[in-house]
Amino acid sequence: MTEPKPKSIRNLEPLGLDKVPVLDVSGFRRTIVDAVRNGARVSSFFGVPASALAEGNAATPAPDGAASPVRLFAVLASVETGTLSVLSALVQGEYPSLTPECPQVHWFEREIWEQWSVKPAGHPWLKPIRFHAPYAPTGSGAAAGAEIGVAEFFRIEGAEVHEVAVGPVHAGVIEPGHFRFQCHGENVYHLEISLGYQHRGVEPALVGGPNRRTLHYLETLAGDTSVGHATAYARLVEALAGAAAPPRAMSLRGIALELERLANHTGDLGALAGDVAYLPTASYCGRLRGDFLNLSALLCGNRFGRGLIVPGGVNFDADRELIAELQARLAAAAADVQGAVELLWQTPSVMARFENTGALSLELATELGLVGPVARACGARMDVRHDFPAGIYQFVQVPMSTWNTGDVFARAYVRWLEIQKSIAFIQERAEALPDGACRQDLPVAPDRRQFAVSLVEGWRGEICHVAITNSAGRFIRYKIVDPSFHNWIGLAMALRGQPISDFPLCNKSFNLSYCGHDL
Amino acid sequence: MTSAPLVHLFLGLLLAPLLLGVINRTKAFFAGRRGPPVLQLYWDLAKLLRKGAVYSQTTTWVFQAGPVVGLAAVLAALALIPFGGAAAPLHFNGDLLLLAYVLGLMRFFTVVAALDTGSSFEGMGASREVQFAALAEPALLLALAAAARKAGSLSLSGILPAAVPLSPELALAAGALVIVFLCENSRVPFDDPNTHLELTMIHEVMVLDHSGPDLALILYSAALKLWVLGALIVGMLVPTVAGVPWVANTVIGLAGMLLLAVVVGVVESVTARVRLVRVPHLLAAAGALAALAFVLVLR
C-alpha cells in the first residue's frame, strides 16, 4: 500500500472531507517539512477532535484520563504553482513537534496544544498563547483556567541585564498586549510578546453556523479588517454552495477591499511620522485616513464597510452618481496623500529614523512564514491577489509591490507603493463597473461533508479561513488565521539588537492586530 | 536703582507658560490644525492644583521633594537672569556658575524622585537624562565662559546686554546655547513632548508617577526653565537700545522671547526627532561650537 499524498486544491475549491488524505504522523511531519523546505508556506494548521468529525457535532468529553484522538489539518500554500496542499493526520495526546525543523509552525503548535491538549513533544517554547481553558478538557494540555499572562518568560540573567515590562495597559488608547524586553542598557537582546487579553472565543462560537450571527462575528474579528474577513467568509460560503458572486458584486467587493487597504496604509504612514515626531505627515495622514473611511461609508453607510459584503454578493448597489462622487473624492484624496507621504521620503531627518531600523532578512522572513507588506518589504514575492486570485482579481491584476531592505523604511515604502496601486485599481474598476445584479440567492449546499479554504489579501497580509462542514452544510470547524498570527514573531525578531527606544516605531511599522490574533 | 529687575522677575513668573502655548499654536498652524488655546497651560495648572495627589507606597519623601526642590531651584535661576538689558534681581561675580548648578540641582532631584518610584521606565528616563546632561552641561558652561571672557565680566548681568554688532564668537556661543536649550527643555529633535510612548521618552517618562499639585509644580518649573534658558539666548542675540526708558527694552526682550517660541515651533514642525543614540552627537556638536567660541575669544 502506498502512502497517501497531500491533496492539491485551488483557493476556494471545495473538497469532500473524505478526500482529505490522512497520513501517519511521521509521513505528515515529513511532508510538511519537505514542502516548506521547497518553498511552501504553512497557511493554516489546526486540530479538530475526531469525535466531532465522526458525528458532525460538537466534541463530547472523553472519559477522565484518556486522551481523545484529534485530527490535525495542515494547509500549505505554494506560490509557484498557485495551489494549496491539504493533508491531515490523526494524533492522540502527543506527537513529535514540527517546530525544531520548521519554525514557522511554532505558534500554530502552541495553539493546538492550548485548544485541544495535544502536546507537540520537543517544542522549544511551549506555553499558552491566549490563556483560555482547553476546548477539550482532557490530556496533558495547558493548565485549565490559567491566569491570563501569568507564565514563565524568557529571561537573561546577569548583573547588567535588566528587564522592562510594558503593558497590557498602555499609555495610549490602544489594544492590550504584554511585552517583555531583556535589555542591556538601551539595547534589546530579546523581546517576548504575550497576547490573549482580547480572546473572545470566536472560533467555538462559529461552530454550527453559518447563521445570522456568523457574518457579524467575522466583521468584528479585527475591526480594521472588516471587509477582508467578511470577503473571505462570503467567498467561502459561496464556494461551499458551488456558486460565485455576480460580476458587479465582485467589482464592488474589490473596491471595498482596496479602500480598506488605503485607509489603513495611510493611517499607518501617518502614525509612523507621528512616532518620529514629524508633524506635517502625521496630521495630514490622520485626516486622509478619515477621507478614505468616508468613501467606504459612501458605499454602504459604514466607515469600516460593515454590512456591505454578504454571501451571494453585496448588500448595497452603487448607482452612477455615487460612483462619480466616489471617483471625484478619491482623486482629491489621492492628490493630498501624495503630497503628505512624499514629504516623508524628502525629509532627511525622517529617513534617518526609518532606514536600518528593525531590519529583517528575507531568509528570516521566509523561515518564520511572515506574510503581507511585512514580508514583501523583505523582498518576498507573495500576494494572495497575485498568487491565489479570486473574485475580481482573477480578471484584473494588481501589480505586486516589494522592496528589499526589510527595515522600517521598506515597510513604509511598500505601503506607499500599494496605496498608489490601490487608487489606480479603484479608479479603473469604478470606470468599468459591470452591469447586472449585485446580489444573488445561493443554491443549497450539497449534502456532503466538505472542506474548503478561502485566502484573501487583507491590508495586513494573507487572511486564511478554513471551513469544514457536516452533511447538513453546518460548520464543524471554522478556522481563522489573521495575518497578525504569522507576523507577531516577526516584530519580536526585528527588535533584536535594536535600541529599545525604537520599539514603538518598529511596532507601528508592523501594526498588527491584537484582537485578530486573540480571536 | 529702578524697579526693572523686580518687574522682569514678575514677568517671567507670569508669562513663562505662555511660551509653551505659542509653541503649540505654531505647531498646530504647520499641521493645519487650530490647536489648543494659547493659555492652555494656565488652565491645566489651575486644574491640577485643585486635584489631590496619588503616591505609590514604594516611594519615600524623596519623591515628594522632587517637584518642590525643582521649583525652588528654577526660581533661583530665574532670579539670576537679567532681562531686557537691566541687571538681574540677584547678581554677583560668578553667578553664571550658580546658574549652571541650580539647574543641575533641579535635574538631580527630578532624577532621584524618578528613581525613587522603582519603575523600569523611570529608571530608563533617568539614565538618559543624566547621560545627555553630562554632555549638555559642558557646552552650556563653555558658551557662558566664552561670553564672560568677551564681556570681561563674571556676572550674567554684566555679560548679557547684547553686544552690538554681534561678534562671531558670541554667535557661535549662542548657537551652542540654542542646542542646549532644545535638549534641556526636552524639545524636538531631542525629545518629543507630545509622545505617549514611554519607551521613547526622556524627560516626560521621569514624571509619569507625579500627579495633581506635584505635576502642576513640575509643569510650571519646566515652563520657567524654558523661560530662563530662552532669556539667556535672547539676551545674547537681541540688542538693547540705549537712551530709552527701560520699559522699551523690556518690550523688545519680550518680543524676542515670543520670536524664540515661534522658532522652536517651526523647528518642531519641520524636523523629525533624532534617534536616541544620535543625541550625544548633536550635544557634542554644541560642545564643539562652544569650545571654538571660547578658543576664539582667548585669541
pLDDT at position A144 over 60 = no
**CA dist., res. B82 & res. B249, Å (int):** 12
Comparing C-alpha atoms, which of A505, A319, A439 is closest to residue B274?
A505
Angle at A154 between CA A148 and CA A158, to 5 degrees: 135
pLDDT at position A237 over 80 = yes
Residues 6+ apart with CB under 8 A from A320: none
**CA dist., res. B181 & res. B178, Å (int):** 5
The DSSP 8-state label assigned to residue A39 in this structure reads: T
Comparing C-alpha atoms, which of B206, B212, B190 is closest to residue B120?
B206
pLDDT, one tens digit per residue, over A28-60 is 999 999 999 999 999 999 999 988 887 544 444
Q: Do B31 and A280 touch (CB under 8 A)?
A: yes
The pTM assigned to this predicted structure is: 0.90
Contacts B190 to A, Cβ<8 Å:
none
Q: Do B271 and A280 touch (CB under 8 A)?
A: no
At A512 the pLDDT is 93
At B239 the pLDDT is 81
Check if CATH label 3.30.1370.30 holds for domain A202-518: no
Chain centre to alpha carbon of residue A459: 9
Comparing C-alpha atoms, which of B82, B78, B83, B136 is closest to residue B107?
B136
Contacts B124 to A, Cβ<8 Å:
164, 186, 500
Residues A166, A173 contacting (CB under 8 angstroms): no
Contacts A160 to B, Cβ<8 Å:
none
What single string gives the DSSP state of each residue in A401-426?
A: ---SS-SHHHHHHHHHHHHHHHHHHH
Angle at B266 between CA B263 and CA B268, to 5 degrees: 110
Comparing C-alpha atoms, which of A346, A349, A496, A283 is closest to residue B275?
A349
At A59 the pLDDT is 46
**CA dist., res. A245 & res. A468, Å (int):** 21
Half-sphere exposure of A494 (CA within 13 A, CB side): 32
Contacts A504 to B, Cβ<8 Å:
195, 197, 199-200
A-interface mutation test, from B23, B269, B273, B282, most A Cβ less than 10 A away: B273
Q: Do A277 and B273 touch (CB under 8 A)?
A: yes
Chain centre to alpha carbon of residue B127: 20
Region A278-283: mean pLDDT is: 90
In angstroms, the separation between the Cα of residue A63 and the nearest Cα of chain B is: 48
**CA dist., res. B58 & res. B241, Å (int):** 55
**CA dist., res. A215 & res. A238, Å (int):** 13
Give the three cell numbers for residue A283. Answer: 496630521
> Is A276 an interface residue toward B (CB < 8 Å)?
yes
B-interface mutation test, from A173, A191, A276, most B Cβ less than 10 A away: A276
Residue A143 pLDDT class (50, 70, 90 cuts)? low
Residues 6+ apart with CB under 8 A from A508: A268, A271, A272, A275
pLDDT, one tens digit per residue, over A248-264 is 999 999 999 999 999 99
Exposure string of A381-407, with b = 16+ CB inside 10 Å and e = fewer, is: ebbbbbbbbbbbbeebebebbbbebbb
The DSSP 8-state label assigned to residue A169 in this structure reads: S
At B208 the pLDDT is 87
Nearest residue on chain B to A182, alpha-carbon basis: B120
Contacts A353 to B, Cβ<8 Å:
272-275
Nearest residue on chain A to B200, alpha-carbon basis: A501
pLDDT, one tens digit per residue, over A439-482 is 888 888 788 899 999 999 999 999 999 999 988 889 999 999 99
Contacts B271 to A, Cβ<8 Å:
278, 347, 349
In angstroms, the separation between the Cα of residue A42 and the nearest Cα of chain B is: 34
Spans of chain B, pLDDT less than 50: 1
Of A163, A347, A503, which has the smallest distance from its Cβ to B199's Cβ? Answer: A503
At B200 the pLDDT is 84
Query: So where are chain A's domains?
Result: 7-121, 202-518
A-interface mutation test, from B119, B129, B132, B197, most A Cβ less than 10 A away: B197
**CA dist., res. A89 & res. A70, Å (int):** 8
> Is A58 an interface residue toward B (CB < 8 Å)?
no
Query: What's the count of helices (H) and strands (E) in chain B, helices before strands?
Result: 10, 0
Residue A64 pLDDT class (50, 70, 90 cuts)? low
Query: So where are chain B's domains?
Result: 4-298
Task: Provide the number of CB pairs (under 8 Å) joining chain A to chain B.
Answer: 91
**CA dist., res. B114 & res. A205, Å (int):** 47
**What residue has cell string 507564565?**
A151
Contacts B123 to A, Cβ<8 Å:
162
At B165 the pLDDT is 67
Angle at A83 between CA A2 and CA A389, to 5 degrees: 165
**CA dist., res. A227 & res. A218, Å (int):** 9
A-interface mutation test, from B199, B276, B278, most A Cβ less than 10 A away: B199
Beta sheet of A15-16, edge-to-edge order: A15-16, A450-458, A461-469, A475-481
Of A279, A352, A504, which has the smallest distance from its Cβ to B197's Cβ? Answer: A504
Nearest residue on chain A to B266, alpha-carbon basis: A279
Flag whether the ipTM exceeds 0.95: no
Residues A405, A359 contacting (CB under 8 angstroms): yes
Residues 6+ apart with CB under 8 A from A194: A149, A151, A153, A177, A178, A179, A180
Region A236-240: mean pLDDT is: 92
